[in-house]
Structures are given as structure tokens and as C-alpha cells.
Amino acid sequence: MSDLPLPPGSTLGVLGGGQLGRMISQAASRLGFDVVILDPEADSPAGRVSAAQIVAGYDDPDALTRLGRLCDVVTFEFENVPAASIERLAEAGALVAPGPTALRVAQDRVDEKTFLNAVGATTVDFAVVDTLSDLDEAVAVIGLPALLKTRREGYDGKGQVWIRDAAETAAAFEAISGRPAILEAAAAFTRELSVIAARDRDGAVAVYPLGENRHANGVLKITLAPAEVSAAGQARAHEIAEAILDGLDYVGVLGVELFELADGTLLVNEIAPRVHNTGHWTQDGCVCDQFEQHVRAVVGWPLGPTAAHARVEMTNLLGDEVEAWRDLASDPAVRLHLYGKAEARPGRKMAHVNRVLGSA
């Protein structure tokens, strides 16, 4: 195991070669680190800006062994990396951050909500659903409307269906192919907020200002940050983030999605044990963005400052929206972040733009 803090010239491994891995790699290179990507897709967006890429599945034992030997520390860019892969790396002596506990919790929505409530981060009411009978019973207890989600996988609105009438339960269960699921009560929220926070290896926590999120067709479209939030709301979000980070003994950056109710109460929707789409605004709104912060945490460096110096509107570019890059590049208030993806499929995240709205 490497001594910490890791000096420049050390090597960081990243499981995942998408846009988040790409931006982690770019941040790491600014700090003088080499990066090795492991991803099953050859010529991945992250691989093309890194020192090397291992082309293999995330559960390939030989590839994991090679990654562990090449790298001084290993992290990941998305939460569907098998927790067993992280455990394998750790058991082989590799330094890994975040650890497998965070992955295991975040990969199962029942485990996630159970954990959140245990650390004092309140969620909506929920029930475990394994059978259609379970679903009917859950609807009777929780009430309608309610949201049925698969326990595992699913993102950007996938793997979930709203139930608004008790007669819809069978169709809803069929829509998720009868997979193990969770039924969540509807949250009467006024807006969705998110908080990006980091924890280092000594337990110090740094929290960014909240962002306000707006979705289209189940996919994040816009984040406005810093959001207009009361001092009490900001303090409560900080408290929630710190409780989650400490409860997971977490190292790195984590995203927490929140529902704000009419009375200001904050409920946790879900957590993401990684850098997060709603934190992209920090690239142009903060001295130390979320990607550099994540690298700092996992290599044992001090956490960077989180205060905002600018107000930013982050907009995801989906599918062929990226074709507007020429016009966007000519706008002096916009900074364009392209992901290097070859195919602009409908709904696919191809880039984002940060529009600077003024000083914070």
C-alpha cells in the first residue's frame, strides 16, 4: 500500500471510461498524476485523455490485478461498478477510495434508504416489493400516487414507473419485469436541490453550496448554483451530507439529491458515491471543482476550498444538441465541456455548458 499523501507522478486508476472518468483524469493530470482507465469500451472518452487504458470488463480478475499493480490508488466514476471488484482490489492490497461499503449501499435502493434513515437523513416512506402481492400491500399502506423502482440499476428515469391508481399495480409490476423493487411515497416537494460534498482520509468534510435542479423526461437538464437557500437550509444540507459521509466512512466526493418541501424540510432522494452531474457547475464557479476535490481526497491531499466565486447555470447537452457547439463556443459567457463521445444518440449526455451569470 502506498504512503500518503501521494506525490505528483503517482498513478491513479479509474474504473469507468465515460465523461466523469474523463473529467477526473483531466483534473488529476493538472495536479501531476498519471491516470490509467479500466473500461470494456476501447477508445473510451476517459481513455483518450489518460496515460493508458485497460480494455476489459469491470469484473475481469486479471484486469483488476493489473490495474492494482499499475496504480497507487484506484477510484471509480459510476456506482454500477461491481462492489466485488472494489473488494477484490482492496483484498489484493490496492488502495481504493471510496470503499466497497458505499457502492453496496448505493446499488440497492432499499439498503440505501434504510442506511439514510439510520444516520438521520430522512427520506420518503418506502416498502420492499418482491411480488405483486407485496406491491398491493405496499400501495394500501403508503397510498397513491407512488413510485415503483427496481432495487438495483436504473438511472435517468429508467427502471421506474408511477402508480396512480390501484388498478395499475399489475401493469406496473410487469413494466419492471417483476424484478425486486421498492415502492416510494410521492414527495410533495417544491423543488429538487443537491449538495456535493467531500471527505478526506482524516475525516475532514468540505461541502459546496447547494444547486437547484430542473429535469426533462427524467433526465437532469439544468442546475442553477449557488441556489437561493436559507442559512438554515444550507446548514441542514451540510449536516445531512456529513452524516452520510461519516456513516459510510467515505473518502472522495459524493452527491446527495434532496427534495425541499414547502416548509423548508429537506428529504434525501438518493445518493451517488462519485462526482455528480449536479456538481459540474463547480468547474466554472469554484476555485477547486468537484473533480479536483475528488482527486485530492483519494490521494490524501488536503481538501480544496468550496466557496463559489460565480453564479453558474449548468445545462446538459443531450443527443444532437451538441451540434450547437459552434454557437456555444462563440458565446463569451459560456464555457463548453465536450465529452468526446463518438455517437450522439437521442437522450445521451454529450456535453454540458456552464453559463456564468455573475459573481456569487
Does residue 1 have a pLDDT over 70?
no
DSSP code, position 355? E
Which CATH number goes with the domain that contains 37? 3.40.50.20
* DSSP structural state of residue 211: E
pLDDT at residue 157 is higher than 80: no
Is 338 part of any domain?
Answer: yes
- State whether 37 and 64 are in the same domain: yes
pLDDT at residue number 183: 98
Residue 19 gets which letter from DSSP?
H
Confidence category of residue 153, pLDDT binned at 50, 70, 90? confident
Instruction: At 81, give phi and psi (nearest 5°).
Output: -65, 135
pLDDT (mean) for 168-179? 96
Q: Do 243 and 121 form a contact (C-beta atoms < 8 A)?
A: yes
Residue 6 lies in a domain: no
User: Domain containing 153 — which CATH number?
Assistant: 3.30.1490.20
**Inside any domain, residue 263:** yes
Q: Which helix (H) or strand (E) holds 354?
A: strand 349-359
Q: Are residues 337 and 349 in the same domain?
A: yes
Same domain, 176 and 203: no
Cβ neighbours, 10 Å, residue 200? 24
Dist. CA 36–CA 208, nearest whole Å: 28
Structure confidence by residue, pLDDT tens digits, 283-330: 999 999 999 999 999 999 999 999 999 999 999 999 999 999 999 999
Q: Where are the alpha helices (DSSP H) in 158-258?
A: 169-175, 231-247
- 186, 253 in Cβ contact below 8 A? no
In a domain, 105, yes or no: no
Q: Kindly state whether residue 245 falls inside one of the protein's structural domains.
A: yes
Spatial separation of the C-alpha atoms in residues 101 and 344, rounded to whole Å: 34
pLDDT of residue 80: 87
273 and 348 assigned to the same domain? yes
Q: Which of 185, 202, 228 is the last residue of a domain?
A: 185
Residues 24 and 131 in one domain: no
Of the given ranges (25-29, 77-81, 180-184, 275-279), which has the lowest mean pLDDT?
77-81
pLDDT per residue as tens digits for the range 75-111: 999 988 999 999 999 888 899 999 999 999 999 999 9
- With respect to residue 3, please indicate whether it lies within any of the assigned structural domains: no
The pLDDT, as a whole number, for residue 155 is 63
Same structural domain for residues 156 and 238?
no
pLDDT band, residue 218 (cuts 50/70/90): confident
Q: Of all residues in the chain, what percent carry a pLDDT higher than 70? A: 98
pLDDT of residue 2: 64
277 contacts 181 by C-beta, under 8 angstroms: no
- 108 within domain boundaries: no
Count up the domains in the chain and report the number: 3
Both 208 and 224 in one domain: the answer is: yes
Task: Tell me the CATH number at 244.
Answer: 3.30.470.20
**Residue 266 and residue 206 share a domain:** yes
Q: pTM of the full predicted structure? A: 0.96
Same domain, 279 and 175: no
Among 75, 96, 117, give the residue marking a domain's end: 96
Same domain, 157 and 247: no
Q: What pLDDT does 186 receive?
A: 97
- Which residues span the domain enclosing 259? 189-359
Mean pLDDT for the stretch of residues 213-242: 96
Taking a C-beta distance cutoff of 8 angstroms, is the pair 195, 238 a contact? yes
Q: What pLDDT score was predicted for residue 91? A: 86
- The domain boundary, picked from 185, 200, 232, lies at 185
d(CA 169, CA 343): 37
At residue 156, the pLDDT reads 58
Q: Could you tell me if residue 119 is inside a domain?
A: no
Q: Are residues 181 and 229 in the same domain?
A: no
Q: Residues 146, 210: one domain? A: no
Q: How far is CA 326 from the centre of its chain?
A: 29
Q: What per-residue confidence (pLDDT) applies to 217?
A: 87
> For residue 236, how far is the Cα from the chain centroid?
20
